[in-house]
Structure 1
Amino acid sequence: MFLLVTWAYSYSRLTLGICKSSRHLVGKVVIVTGGNAGIGYETAKDLADRGARVIIACRNEVRGISARDSIIKATGNNDVHYRNLDLASLKSVKKFADDFLKTENRLHILINNAGVFASDNVKTEDGLLLGTQVNHFGPFLLTSLLLPLLKSSAPSRIINVSSIAYAKCEMDLQNLNAEKENEKSYQKINLYGMSKLCNILMAVELSHRLKDTGVTANSLHPGLVRTDILYDINVFGFQLILPLVKLFTKSAWEGAQTSIYLAVSPEVDDISGKYFVDCRVKKTVKRNGYDLELAHKLWELSEKYVGLKVDHL
């Protein structure tokens, strides 16, 4: 057992992806949703350190302002800002996008990082499943509304933070909003996995729609990161083995590396519609993650859920 654990630990360290690009971002504008904590914070800090104008978009004003001030202090970059965004409210998403478009004339990197893990079976003010709205419908609407600015600012990049949990889900486009589930049979892990597969499929569809525009879209799995989410996982006795699991987890800085890589690396300048793990593209993706037809159907369905028809694509 000791040798097995030692081998597994060594393997996890040897395969750890680290962004090695030193590209600066002076003159670039970046949005990081959920940039107030965890891998979002580490991502925002790294990009600010490269000279970017960074917008931290999150719902908690106190935490957002604290993160902003901490990043400014750590990097010496005063061009870091907090703006309120609650992905569980389509009204908030629309207001954020409207305010951003009125006050900013460029957007080079949009990182859809914010998310919620396996939420309960509750609906938002918009009648959408909380977890699916925060993880997919909210980011979908935000990205759609900001696409004109991303295109006019090209070359630009869209980055969706997904999860390996997508591989364990049973995808059902007719159950994105838990239409087929009742309180007793509600399978939060499966629906969480579906929302993360949506992140991958959204990038696939965007890569098709944005071909030859100079805008790329990719998704990623950050790895199992030592954040508060670990303590929210309560399946198959996970909490009992958590001390052992922690040996193989990443720090928030390590978990942010693939997001940073996709944001700055010249190696992915012309790559779009792909799913990355540890700064490396995955050639094959489970659950039809690279299926163009499935991605297109999801896009059209998502437009209906958020009440949006994107005519500029």
Structure 2
Amino acid sequence: MYLLYTIFAALSFFLLLKWIKRRKYCMDVKRLDGKTVLITGGNSGIGKETAVALALRGARVIIACRNEDKARKAVREIKARSHSMNVLHMEVDLANMRSIREFSKTFLEKEKRLDILINNAGMPSVLDWTDDNFSMCFGVNHLGHFLLTNLLLPRLKESSPSRVITLTCSNYKYQKLDFQDLNYNLFPFFTYCRSKLANIYFTQELARMMEGKGVTAYAVHPGYVQSNWTCHFSFLFQLLMKVIMFMFFVSCEVGAQTVIHCAVADDVVTDSGGYFSDCRPAKLQAFAKDAGVAKKLWEASERLVKHA
């Protein structure tokens, strides 16, 4: 009898984990032949899975990352899995504004189209500083992508209808922005939360500014994903998180589904500026829908990157 109880408990726990980790898959099979996609941080995790999926649909896929060796390895894997040779990499360091400017200049000189920009690269909850003295989370997760998107907007508008997809996180709800200290770098988790909230405001203001210009924008929460973000932390923390991620987090392939959905689905066009999770629009906390704050953040971000 004890053995039966043990088996029942184990089975129930397994089914509970399956229920917790259930996610929708993008079922849209639209082709992207002739389209160009740029994915930051496309050498690993969600970015790499997104690159494979979009290359399979015929897109020209460019992954942008700072480590050339990892990028070359990722490109080989993406090509093999997608059976597409139209995959390449370009080097950029989102923690360095000069690098972003140089990258954007090179991109605009070489690439005649940009149909989908996916701001995927992210920095986890670390207390560090960028080369321009911004907190690492705010500098990479928000300001780096803010500058990159603005520099590439001319090509996005020329290639319209085009899309900008920025990865965020549901953890945004645990913090609000403090305009007296946007560079907040005190408690790692709260620093991360603020940067993810900034991603949402950025998406909303970008959508407002691009209304009628053929560029739509989406903020995506991919779920809690089994990616390699723990590499920034101690071995003990990595070991602990591996257990937790195995139990409760989804795979990178599953985490990429909402990003893919926002990149290809036609029905998302009417939800420009929206927040998406599980391949559908999701609700935001009221404070995260404040258009005045979104505009104020945009203006503050312009000043910060201009002087970097």
Deviations 1:197-233 (A, max 9, x none): 1111100001110101111001011111111225767
- 2:290 corresponds to which residue? 291
Is the alpha carbon distance of 1:4 and 1:293 closer, same or farther for their aligned partners in structure 2, counting shifts above 3 Å?
Answer: farther
Map 1:1-313 → 2, pairs under 5 A: 5=13, 8-14=16-22, 16-120=23-127, 122-178=128-184, 186-230=186-230, 243-282=243-282, 284-286=283-285, 288-307=287-306
Query: What displacement does 1:130 show?
Result: 1.7
The alpha carbon displacement at 1:131 in A equals 1.8
Alignment partners' CA distance in 2, 1:231 and 1:134 = 17
Distance 1:211 1:278 in 2: 25
Q: Distance in 1 between matches of 2:287 and 2:36?
A: 33
Name the counterpart of 1:311.
none
Change (3 A) 1:304 1:49: same
Contact preservation (8 Å) 2:227, 2:252: yes
Cα distance between partner residues in 2 of 1:142 and 1:90: 9
**Relative to structure 1, is the Cα distance of residues 240 and 272 closer, same or farther in structure 2, using a 3 angstrom cutoff?**
same
Q: 2:158 is aligned with what amino acid? A: S
Deviations 1:80-102 (A, max 9, x none): 11100100000010011100111
In the alignment, residue 111 of structure 1 is paired with which amino acid?
A: I
- Counterpart-to-counterpart distance in 1, 2:182 and 2:12: 39
Could you tell me how far 1:175 is from its partner in structure 2? 1.5
CA distance in 2, matches of 1:230, 1:46: 25
Cα separation, 2, equivalents of 1:163 and 1:129 = 18
CA, structure 1 residues 214+301, in 2 after alignment: closer, same or farther (shift >3 Å)? same
Q: 1:117 to 1:13 in 2, by over 3 A?
A: closer
Q: Deviations over 1:5-49 (max 9, x none)?
A: 4564243344x1210000010000000000000110000111111
Residues 8 and 171 of structure 1, relative CA distance in 2, 3 Å threshold? farther
Q: Is the 8 Å Cα contact of residues 219 and 276 (structure 1) preserved in structure 2?
A: yes
Matched AA of 2:260: I
Cα–Cα, structure 1 residues 89 and 24, in superposed 2: closer, same or farther, change >3 Å?
Answer: same
Higher-Rg structure is 2
What per-residue deviation string (whole Å, max 9, x for no partner) do you get for residues 129-158 of structure 1?
122111110000000001111011101000
Q: Distance in 2 between matches of 1:199 and 1:222?
A: 13
In the comparison of the two structures, how many residue pairs are matched?
A: 297
Q: In 1, Cα distance between the equivalents of 2:239 and 2:170? A: 19
Structure 1 residues 37 and 59 mapped into 2: Cα distance closer, same or farther (>3 Å)? same
**What SS does the corresponding residue of 2:218 show, helix, strand or coil?**
strand
Higher helix share: 2
Deviation at 1:72, TM superposition (A): 1.3
Distance 2:300 2:227 in 1: 32
8 Å Cα contact 2:37/2:117 also seen in 1 = yes
Question: Runs (4+) of structure 1 moved beyond 4 Å?
Answer: 1-7, 230-234, 237-242
SS of alignment partner, residue 57 of structure 1: strand
- Please give the secondary structure, in 2, of the residue aligned with 1:269: helix
SS of the equivalent of 1:110 reads: strand
